Amino acid sequence: MEKDLKELYHIRRSAGFLSDFDSFASLLDYQARLEKLDKTGAFAPSPSLVDLRARAKQDERKRHSFPDHVDADFLQRAIQKAQDALKGPKPPKPFIPTLDQLRLNRLAKDEEIEERLRPKRKPLPKTLPPDDEAEVDALFRKRGLIAKCAKEQVSDEDISRLRPAQWLNDEIINFYGQMILSRAEESKENPGARNEWRRPLNAHYFSTFFWSKLRGQGYEKARLGKWTKKIDIFSKDIILIPVNHNNAHWSAAAINFRKKRIEAYDSMSMNASSVFKTLRQYLNSEHMDKKKKPFDFTGWVDYVFLETPQQENGFDCGVFTCQFLEALSRGEEDFRFTQANMPYLRRKMVWEIAHTKFRDEP
């Protein structure tokens, strides 16, 4: 099996996989684990990440060994799938008549004008400025309380989750979500105070425990109507929801009132049908509770962004989820980060949490 694993790694590398062998092994193990959970219907809610923390520590000790959850059948299916993808027919070279060339030239000029009027944002940097990098190193050494934001706080144990190859816990994700919520509320009081591209939507963030209660107990039994006693979610632009899949994986979901969409963003591209179904049920129950009539789903769609960035290891799902939620809170329609940006984004999140504010990227 070790030989097959290396063969699969080389096939994936030839197809564009960029991370190292250890990261690939962790990704394969993660995929196999999620496949087994999905087949057995084991994706169920949990009120905390105690199991996740324990599993992360086990993975840390075994990171350089053969993946625990990868058996011969799974490996052969993965090799066959990768080989089939490489052998697939290449698209023919397009025939471009003279008229099409003229049209494309005109489009290129239009794009050039658009770029001058509204220049595209630059790629993310690879590191923070030197002084901020030194501050992040100092924060990793600090003990005790790191930061507070409303009712959320982060300790040294929590902030260590942002070191390389660590899984994020509820505290980090909820602190980041509270920062998103605070920014949205601040924006309502000070419109236009921030750069245009970072202008937040009228967003609401539900903590990581919302999904666990909704899936585990249901709307009535979990008394989720009290969560929005002082909030009219139907007046919001977007509702942001971190999703904890059985303490094995993080993904992001959103109820987008502006676009009439139930949205799912998953760095492992897991099947989102249960997410859509659960959130539609919640939306209807909440509308019945607050408006005393069923929610009108006319024109609403279930939405998965086909170019959602994908992770290449078994531990960055929480960072992807935080970045999905932050971008969605500003109305972003796509994402400017990839797996290659994760080391930078982890350190940026440390700085942002410590300062309880987001950095303004160019």
Instruction: Say what the pLDDT of residue 60 is.
Output: 52
Helix axes 21-40, 2-14, angle to 10 degrees: 100
Catalytic-labelled residue, pool 149, 170, 249, 316 = 249
Q: Which of 34, 30, 53, 52 is nearest to 43 (CA)?
A: 34
* Catalytic residue list contains 249: yes
Mean pLDDT, each 10-residue run in order, the chain (362 residues)? 83 86 88 79 51 53 62 84 77 68 81 70 91 98 97 97 97 98 83 57 97 96 96 97 96 98 97 97 98 97 96 97 97 93 98 96 69
Cα dihedral 143→147→148→152 (10° resolution)? -80
Instruction: Say what the pLDDT of residue 194 is.
Output: 46
Instruction: Say what the pLDDT of residue 28 is.
Output: 85
Instruction: Say what the pLDDT of residue 78 is.
Output: 86
For residue 20, what are its two tokens? 């190292």
- Domains of the chain (ranges, CATH numbers): 1-362 (3.40.395.10)
Q: Which 8-state DSSP code applies to residue 233?
A: G
Give the separation between CA 222 and CA 236, rounded to whole angstroms.
23
| Cα torsion 263, 123, 250, 194: sign | negative
Catalytic-labelled residue, pool 170, 237, 245, 317 = 317
Catalytic-labelled residue, pool 29, 237, 266, 316 = 266
Helix (H, G, I), strand (E, B) or coil at 111: helix
Residues 6+ apart with CB under 8 A from 66: 1, 2, 5, 25
